[in-house]
Structure 1
Amino acid sequence: MSEQPTYRLDVSTCIAPLVQSWAAWWMTVAPVPASLHVRNYQLPLLKTYLLNPDFHARHVGIPASRASEVKELVQKTQQAQAERIRLAEALESFQRLLLEEAKGQSMEPFYAKLPEPLRGRVELLYDYHGRPSLRVLEGMMYRGPCHQRELQSLRLLRLESDAGRPDLLTTPVLSEPGQLEWQVPFEDKRLDALFALDLEPRPLGFIQELLGPAAANGTELLPLLTETPARPYTPWEGPGPRLRYLGHACVLIEWKGTTVLVDPVLSATPTSGGLPRLGFQDLPPRIDYVLITHSHYDHLSIETLLRLRHRIGQLVLPRSSGLLVGDYSPKLLARSLGFERVLEPELYESLPLPDGEIVIAPFLGEHGDIGHAKSAYVVRMGEQRVLFAADSLGVDETLYRHMRKDLGPIQTVFMNTEVEGSPLTWTIEVLFPKKRDRKLEESRRCRGSNAAEALRMLEQLGATRLYNYAMGLEPWFTQIMGPPASPEEPRMKESERLLTAARARGLRAERLHGHQDLFLAE
């Protein structure tokens, strides 16, 4: 009897998590932001599109010929997410009432004025200046009607090109021929069995049984699979650590049998080719720590995290204060995604590595002066220290002088040079009141460091190596950030200024692009 063939996920297979046809990210999954997003962004966008599909097709990314599907999506959204819409309306009206009526007197009478969706799920507060606000009891929200697991699904498809995926923010993902949709909550353990197929082949029958009705048509499933064995992972044995740059802000650290992955956003390999990359099949079968710096989608990708969930030892996330409606808890989000081993350490807390540690480091700027959760990380391997600064703004050089004094010289720094930055409300406009002073907001950008700030940072840290990263250069970030930056764009010109000045000071300075292996022992 011949052996039954076994299959893995093909390197071109993309598996996109969706929430009622929209890409899954924190603004569509965390209950309160998701409620505001569906009422104040998704529905207005789609209703505007329906007024003139031909005119709005380019912006929304859906041809006018599919307007009837958009109309159906709007109707289903209004019906299925009615509780979320009610919550968003209650938040908007009650926060307005607080601003108008709460002037420093006791908050106790306002509890009787709470709209029903907020009752029992918020605490009313003043700050020390007598400004009123409400604190959402977020853990309760995940047990309430606005955390809608039944809206969650996975879309399985072959990736034809890096530019072929719809825009993350403005385009709902309508079904296409040859795609499979698996209606399954993200926390479901069956996802681990599916994503284990990146490395471990299984019989076709097992895969069809796992996916159920979604895979009833084997002709649509087979193109997503391959009989080719996965490339074996060879552990790095030194000398020194190996840092594998995987694109944008994603770095894999291999050191004395331990693996650490920073800000993972990985891509399938398009069938049409493109920039070479390492994918899910090339990562270690066990990743001891995954470190997330902040919630922008080019750093925290639910799609990537779900696919790696079964390999991750500890997921390390920045700590939120919970004092702003949009400062959601990444830890609670991760729990809702099925992660069981989640850490949310405080600033300067240390996580152990062999002959080393991971230290939670400060991260200034990049959020337009809004207090949302974020952390940088210092990884010490022997005497080598590496700072993953993400999009940090080096506006206060004294902070880095303190870091050097507290932690020792930090020889290697990964940082970006996004000098313009997106507007304050980029991706999060729905969290803000409609009436506010937008003229004052014009100076508040989600920017990183310019060359002068970066050079002062490097000097204070005692750095000898600079890796300029997180620049949006890899083509698989088109879905998130638009086309890769041209040499004439401000961030690229600032990058050149920084690299030139750093080299003149004797630093090894490089701008990273695509996959590169970096060796600190050299």
Structure 2
Amino acid sequence: MSETLYRLADHTCVAPLVQGWTAWWMTVAPVPASLHVHKAQLPLLQAYLQSPEFHARASKDAALSGGTFVGIAPERAGEVKALLQQMQESQVDRVRLAEALEEFQGWLVEEAKGQSLEPLYEKLPEPLRGLVELSYDYINRPFVRMMEGALYRAGYHKPQLQSLRLLPLESDASRPHLFTTPYLMEPGQIDWAVPFSEERISRLFETDLSPRPLGHLRDVMGPAVTRDEQLLPLLTEAPPSRYTPWEGPGPRVRYLGHACALVEWKGITILVDPVISARPTSGGMQRLTFHELPPRIDYALITHSHPDHLAIDTLLRLRHRIGQLVVPRCNGFLVGDYSPKRLAHSLGFQNVLELDTYESVPLPDGELISVPFLGEHGDIGHAKSSYVVRTGKQQLLFAADSMCVDDAIYRHMRQNLGPIQTVFMNTEIEGAPHTWTLEALFPKKRDRKLEKNRRCRGSNTGEGLRILELVGASKLYNYAMGLEPWMEHIIGPPCAPDAPRMKESDRLLAEARARGLGAERLYGVTDLVLES
């Protein structure tokens, strides 16, 4: 009699955590994580403990969506207090690094006016010694360049704090908000203390396509599972879906929600900005989940590090299927301009391509090209890239949250690459404040009045139409609008139809159609078959 085979159930969510907090680049990359724990996470938990009732109430108020409120019930304040103490003890070195960096940067700006920086190395505080280079730009503004590779090896990268939380997803709204609320243990959950780079993680996720006996899963997860009853509610005996390769004459684009799209062309699969969700037990909007994706993803493309585009949970779940992870190149001059390539290596990826502007990768009768991406970062120079995918004579631009502030960018794109027939583009005209997720990276002393008009926005209607005109587009797909409910724990509830970004989307679509272009706003799973 054959053994029963199991895979993770469609409702099983696997959340990567760093000491209870959702893993994203600001909790994993050493310098951002040090600043974030010191200036964001610890103060947030301390504020919660002063008024748990207020935080719990405010976190459920839709009018306060996007605020910094911990969504944990007051009766669990004792657990939050214990977490705070654990973080203060286990991340004391990160806190000291952040304090030293903040103090020294302020001192350096006042002290260094163009003279040699050599004597100033003697003034470096101990936590920074051997880990930084002091430099000027060409107009003698000093800065501290962090040696990121050294920081990963100096103990500021903390895989011992990493874990995977397996839980039944009750609803899309049931996940703690990524930025403000840590995960506390709930009945029916399993916390697996395992570094993200471990190969054992792939052995668990391989069961999405190749179910295995219960004993195999227990062996993989080790002491995290002491009884079969813990694991069985998170598993299913249902066989995985069988993937049928696309064989059409032209490319197929499977839009999977928000900014995630699967391009299939001549046996090649390309997954853009992978964010994939489990299916809630309570139902909800239709979606494709992990066992329904191709068994091999040749290229996974990351446009930028915002967690609605770079989702560590999805990347870990698909790591064993991804042939090449393609990430934008960082410059490393700002403390927050961390290396996505180094981050990917810390997540266990071996094959990582870091593409600079107009570098490319050949495809069968096609090409994958990194192209400029302006916007969405509030004028902060962090790594980002849009991508053009050429499939035969058809070219597709995945512009993410790009905005058109310089026509010449897209004029040069057309000159370099030829007409780009299909554009996937966002219309986030408001955007969050430029410090919304990055406040911890900024020094305390600065002129906030000058920063008020800096927003993380995309193109408005006029700018969007200029992009379409300049690249020679005939089709527009308005995407990455934050409409799918499974994005709620990252960017908040879906916006109402009368929200500014939706009204702007309507205007862009109407104007594009008036000019004879095909124009559509994407929502949920949609198959798009393009001409060859």
TM-score tier after normalising by the smaller chain length: over 0.9
1:135-146 matched pairs, under 5 angstroms:
135-146=145-156
Aligned partner of 2:304 in structure 1 is 294
**Is 1:50 equivalent to 2:60 in the alignment?**
no
**SS of the counterpart of 2:153?**
coil
Aligned partner of 1:490 in structure 2 is 500
What's the TM-score once normalised by structure 1's chain length? 0.99
Distance in 1 of aligned mates of 2:346 and 2:107: 32
Cα displacement string for residues 143-171 of structure 1 (whole angstroms, at most 9, x for unaligned residues): 11111110000000111111110100000
**SS of the counterpart of 2:72?**
coil
Distance in 2 of aligned mates of 1:56 and 1:480: 18
What's the TM-score once normalised by structure 2's chain length? 0.97
**Shift of the alpha carbon at 1:249?**
0.3
**Is 1:344 equivalent to 2:354 in the alignment?**
yes
Distance in 2 of aligned mates of 1:455 and 1:372: 26
Cα displacement string for residues 61-100 of structure 1 (whole angstroms, at most 9, x for unaligned residues): 0011000001000110010001111100110111011011
Distance in 2 of aligned mates of 1:279 and 1:395: 37
**Shift of the alpha carbon at 1:4?**
1.1
Aligned partner of 2:9 in structure 1 is 10
| Amino acid of the structure 1 residue aligned with 2:447 | D
Distance in 2 of aligned mates of 1:329 and 1:502: 37
**Shift of the alpha carbon at 1:254?**
0.4
Distance in 1 of aligned mates of 2:42 and 2:233: 35
**SS of the counterpart of 2:16?**
strand
Aligned partner of 2:289 in structure 1 is 279
Aligned partner of 1:418 in structure 2 is 428
**Shift of the alpha carbon at 1:250?**
0.3
**Is 1:373 equivalent to 2:401 in the alignment?**
no
Find the partner of 1:128 among 123, 126, 138.
138
| Amino acid of the structure 2 residue aligned with 1:107 | L
| Amino acid of the structure 2 residue aligned with 1:203 | P
**SS of the counterpart of 1:79?**
helix
**Is 1:427 equivalent to 2:427 in the alignment?**
no
| Amino acid of the structure 2 residue aligned with 1:332 | R
Aligned partner of 2:463 in structure 1 is 453
1:64-83 matched pairs, under 5 angstroms:
64-83=74-93
| Amino acid of the structure 2 residue aligned with 1:193 | R
**Is 1:479 equivalent to 2:489 in the alignment?**
yes
Distance in 1 of aligned mates of 2:382 and 2:462: 26
**Shift of the alpha carbon at 1:3?**
1.2
**Pairs aligned (count):** 521
Find the partner of 1:258 among 254, 257, 268.
268
Deviates more, 1:79-88 or 1:51-60: 51-60
Aligned partner of 2:62 in structure 1 is none
Aligned partner of 1:249 in structure 2 is 259
Cα displacement string for residues 367-423 of structure 1 (whole angstroms, at most 9, x for unaligned residues): 000100000000000000000000001111221111111100000000000001110
Distance in 1 of aligned mates of 2:2 and 2:315: 34
Find the partner of 2:128 among 118, 121, 134.
118
**SS of the counterpart of 1:365?**
coil
Find the partner of 2:100 among 85, 90, 108.
90
* Unmatched 5+ stretches in structure 2: 60-68
| Amino acid of the structure 2 residue aligned with 1:20 | Q
**Shift of the alpha carbon at 1:51?**
1.1
**Is 1:226 equivalent to 2:225 in the alignment?**
no
Distance in 1 of aligned mates of 2:416 and 2:329: 21
| Amino acid of the structure 1 residue aligned with 2:15 | A
Distance in 1 of aligned mates of 2:356 and 2:444: 34
**Shift of the alpha carbon at 1:350?**
1.1
| Amino acid of the structure 2 residue aligned with 1:94 | F
**Shift of the alpha carbon at 1:239?**
2.1
* Unmatched 5+ stretches in structure 1: none
Distance in 2 of aligned mates of 1:98 and 1:476: 44
Distance in 1 of aligned mates of 2:527 and 2:160: 42
| Amino acid of the structure 2 residue aligned with 1:350 | S
| Amino acid of the structure 1 residue aligned with 2:36 | H
Find the partner of 1:304 among 314, 329, 332.
314
**Shift of the alpha carbon at 1:103?**
1.1
| Amino acid of the structure 1 residue aligned with 2:453 | S
Find the partner of 1:175 among 164, 181, 185.
185
Aligned partner of 2:66 in structure 1 is none
Cα displacement string for residues 36-71 of structure 1 (whole angstroms, at most 9, x for unaligned residues): 010100000000111121122232100110000010
Aligned partner of 1:148 in structure 2 is 158
Aligned partner of 1:29 in structure 2 is 28
Distance in 2 of aligned mates of 1:426 and 1:50: 22
Distance in 2 of aligned mates of 1:373 and 1:5: 46
Cα displacement string for residues 475-513 of structure 1 (whole angstroms, at most 9, x for unaligned residues): 000001111011111100000000000000000000000
Distance in 2 of aligned mates of 1:363 and 1:453: 14
Aligned partner of 2:171 in structure 1 is 161
Distance in 1 of aligned mates of 2:329 and 2:408: 23
Distance in 2 of aligned mates of 1:256 and 1:206: 36
Aligned partner of 2:369 in structure 1 is 359
| Amino acid of the structure 1 residue aligned with 2:52 | P
Structural RMSD (CA): 0.7
Distance in 2 of aligned mates of 1:198 and 1:465: 35
Aligned partner of 2:397 in structure 1 is 387
Cα displacement string for residues 283-316 of structure 1 (whole angstroms, at most 9, x for unaligned residues): 1000000000000000000010000000000000
Find the partner of 2:116 among 100, 106, 112.
106
